[in-house]
């Protein structure tokens, strides 16, 4: 995965190194961090575009994010697309979890899935929640899943 900052600046080093440098820099400034990971997607023509974000929250001092975009021409049902979003988030969370544990940084995985059964995305809620929780991560869905429903949504 290729990563960038919201400014568009590319992150050239491996994401694990970039995240570790970020944690060291931010904690040395006295910030307590939490990391939230989420993904979103949009269908445009015959292409599905995905965005995955790593959101760094500074306790009561704002935050910032790293972004990775990808795309596929594979046809997917809505449920498949929701589970693919979750899989992308879990992949990143799994890659970072040992590092975050080492520095005592909280981690949440956010799913852009509505908890209200009247919404179509709700069809994937049980599977997504089971997947994330079975990996040992804290799970958040709409309306609490800002990393996916707000942050990733803006950069997909």
The tens digit of pLDDT for each residue in 8-60 reads 999 999 999 999 999 999 999 999 999 999 999 999 999 999 999 999 999 99
109: nearest Cα among 87, 80, 82, 127: 87
3-state SS assignment for residue 52: strand
Name which CATH class applies to 3-155: alpha beta
What is the separation of C-alpha 120 from the centre of its chain, rounded to a whole number of angstroms?
21
* Predicted local distance difference test score (pLDDT) of residue 40: 97
- Domain limits of the chain? 3-155
Q: Is the pTM value of this prediction over 0.85?
A: yes
């Amino acid at each position: 995965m290729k990563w960038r900052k919201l400014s568009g600046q590319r992150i050239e080093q491996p994401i694990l190194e970039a995240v570790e440098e970020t944690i060291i820099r931010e904690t040395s400034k006295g910030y307590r961090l939490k990391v939230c990971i989420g993904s979103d997607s949009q269908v445009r023509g015959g292409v599905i575009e995905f965005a995955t974000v790593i959101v760094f929250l500074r306790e009561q001092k704002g935050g910032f994010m790293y972004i990775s975009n990808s795309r596929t021409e594979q046809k997917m049902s809505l449920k498949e697309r929701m589970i693919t979003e979750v899989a992308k988030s879990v992949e990143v969370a799994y890659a970072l979890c040992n590092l975050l544990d080492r520095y005592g940084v909280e981690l949440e995985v956010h799913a852009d899935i509505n908890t209200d059964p009247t919404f179509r995305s709700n069809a994937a809620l049980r599977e997504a929640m089971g997947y994330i929780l079975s990996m040992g991560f804290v799970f958040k869905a709409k309306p609490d899943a800002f990393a996916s429903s707000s942050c990733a949504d803006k950069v997909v």
